[in-house]
Structures are given as C-alpha cells and as structure tokens.
A = this chain, B = another copy of it.
Amino acid sequence: MTNSTPLTRISDVRGFDTAEYRARVARAQAMMADKGLSALLLSTEPEVRYFTGYLTRFWESPARPWFLVVPAAGDPVAVIPSIGAELMRQSWISDIRTWVAPDLEDDGVSLLAATLDEIGGDRIGVPSGHETHLRMPLTDYTRLGGLLAKGTLTDDAGITRALRLIKSPAEIAKIRTACAIAGRAFARVPEIASEGVPLDEVFRAFQMLCLQEGADWVPYLAGGTGQDGYGDVISPASSAPLARGDIMMLDTGVIWDGYYSDFDRNFSVGAPSDVAARAHTTLMEATEAGLQAARPGNTAADIFHAMDQVCTGGMGVSDTGRLGHGLGMQLTEWPSFIAGDLTVIEEGMVLTLEPGVETIGGHMMVHEEDIVITATGAEFLSPRAGSELPVI
C-alpha cells in the first residue's frame, strides 16, 4: 500500500524483448479462439504498437492508413505505407507488406484485402467498442468489406481492450519513469510560476521543464487558474497573469518510451484561502479513499464510490464525468471511475485517481495521482502530493 517497496523501479531500457510481444500475441490468440475470431484487424497507433513496438510520431499525419493483422495462429503481418517499412523492419515483425502511399485509387485497401483473404480467416475482429475508433476512411472500410472473398468484418469482442488493461512489469516501469519525470518537473514549478507571470508563459516553461527532466515529448498539458479554483480542467492557457489568491492547476501527460504519465498539481499564488485549503484537504482524503479501494476484486465503480463519498457525500460526479481512469500507451485508457463501470480491478492495472470538488460557484479543484494495482492493493507511481497545498 505504500511507495516504500515499489513493484517496479524506473527504467532506462527502451523497447521490449521480443518474448513480450510474442506473449501478447499468444494471449490475443487464446482470446480469439475463445471468442470465435479468426483474426484481428488493427488500425490505430496504440493497437499497432502494442503488438509490434512500432513507435513513431508520424501518426500525427492523417494522410496514410496503417494496418496490422493478427491471425489466429502465427505472427502478425504489417500492411503499411512504404515510408514506414524501414522503421518497421527494426521491429520483430518479419512479414511487412507495403504500398506507396498516398494512392488515391487504392490506398492499401486491395493489399489489405488480399492479406486478410490469405491469413485472416472468416471472422475478422475490428475494435469497435467504447474508446476505440477506426483509423481509415469510412469509404475504404466499406470497400474493404466488399473485397473480402471469405472474411466478414465484425467487432473484436473487446480483446484489444482486455489485453491492454493489464500492464506487464516492463510497461509499468516505463509509466513509472514517465511519472518520475513529470514529478521532478512539478517540483520545479516554483522556478517558473509566481504572481504576475502569464499562464501561457508558465505552460511553455513547464513543458521545457518536462523535457529537461527527461520526457521524450509532452503530448498533453492543460490547466486552469482562478480564485479558489478554475472553471474547467481541459483549457489551453490564457495570457492572463497569475494573481494573488489564484489557484493554478497544471495537468500534464508526458511520454517516456511511448508510455504516459497523467497527473496534475495545484498551487496557490500566495497563501491559500480557507476554501482552497479545505478543498485540498478533501482531495487528499478522497485520493486516500480511492487508494484504499483500489485492490484486486473491487470494481472501478467501488473506487468511484469511495472517492465520491469524500468529495460530495455520495451525490455523484459533476460535469467532469469521472474520478479517474486507466493509463498507459494513451493518456487515458479503460476503465473509468464512474458508477456504471463494473470492470473488476486486477493486479497490473495502471490507474489514475482524479477526485474533484466544487469550491465556489462555477469553480472547482481537481487532484490526480497515478497508481498501479499490486497483488493486495495499490502503490503510487506518481510522487504523491503533500498534505499542504503548495504556495508559489
């Protein structure tokens, strides 16, 4: 339950052993057999990377689709634009089929159809549930379905979600590393933020701190500022200077070797008001309640209720919609801490505890920490915030 004997330490080893990818494929194939699927067809960055290790920021360009086919038996086959072949050849994947993209007549669709006809079998699972999307044009997806000689495209029965939900020790080590980087950056916020500094300057300087402390890149930073809290938690920075009595919140997701941290910190500009100080105390108590509930056998809903009891007395969430979520190759992953999510907590899940409280009309404060589920409970991956609201 404490941070004194961590399940994993921070890592400086990039990538994963091929054995880890083979184990992921084997687990996928066991689930596919159980669900009656003959292949998985994957098209998004984390799904392709999960099975291949293919790590590039080039997904930022929407021009080209990328595909990975995981057959019922045997190794995955990459069906990708030729611009990515050199990098994919550095992965453990040996069967790499390419086309010169973009191709306005046939942007990989017939090559993908031929590959699926060869190795995909008759029931091809495509991630289709909550938090998924298809990263290929709808027109091409329809065309793909028509080109298949025998296979049918169907839901993946939640297999990719179920696989990614439980992190390996090597994955957890990467997330712990990302959390340590963000933690060091947060500890240096007094160097860059004080009364009179515009919030957008704080945002720029904070991203530089994250990079200085070892982040590969900083995909996410949001925050807010205002008297006794802020109106929302997803806004970019304004150029308004920090004012005495403001609470400034920074919420960042930094990447180390393809894995995210995601936690925030609140700071008081000058001594906090009683309202803000009390809100911080409540958030710390709610975090502790969430931590106590975060153990194998409980559900995501149990963790929600534990925190919500402290935050609202059990009134349920506000506009933010949830009190935390999964974390890993994406800033937010399955599950959600809401009353309706009955996902059973298991060892190896990485989760964020993210309680929020209303302070004054229209303003709130939100706190967030990252944890990993152990055999008997949970431990912090983020360096846990102190009981006092830090003053800048």
Contacts and interface: CB of A to CB of B under 8 A. Distances in A.
Interface stretch (A17-25, A207-215, A273-281): A207-215
Interface residues of A, number: 76
Contacts of A126: 138
Q: Which secondary structure characterizes the binding site on chain A?
A: loop
B102 A321 contact: yes
Interface string A127-150: 011111111111110000000000
Given A63-B332, A126-B138, A219-B219, A82 B319 contact: yes
Contact of A104 (B139, B317, B340): B340
A215 B208 CA distance: 11
Contacts of A50: none
A2 interface: no
Interface string A100-126: 111111010000000000000000001
Interface stretch (A53-61, A70-78, A307-315): A53-61
A200 B211 CA distance: 11
Interface in A143-196: 155
B139 A155 contact: yes
A234 interface: yes
A4 B82 CA distance: 39
Contacts of A132: 62, 137-138
Contacts of A130: 102, 104, 107, 137, 140
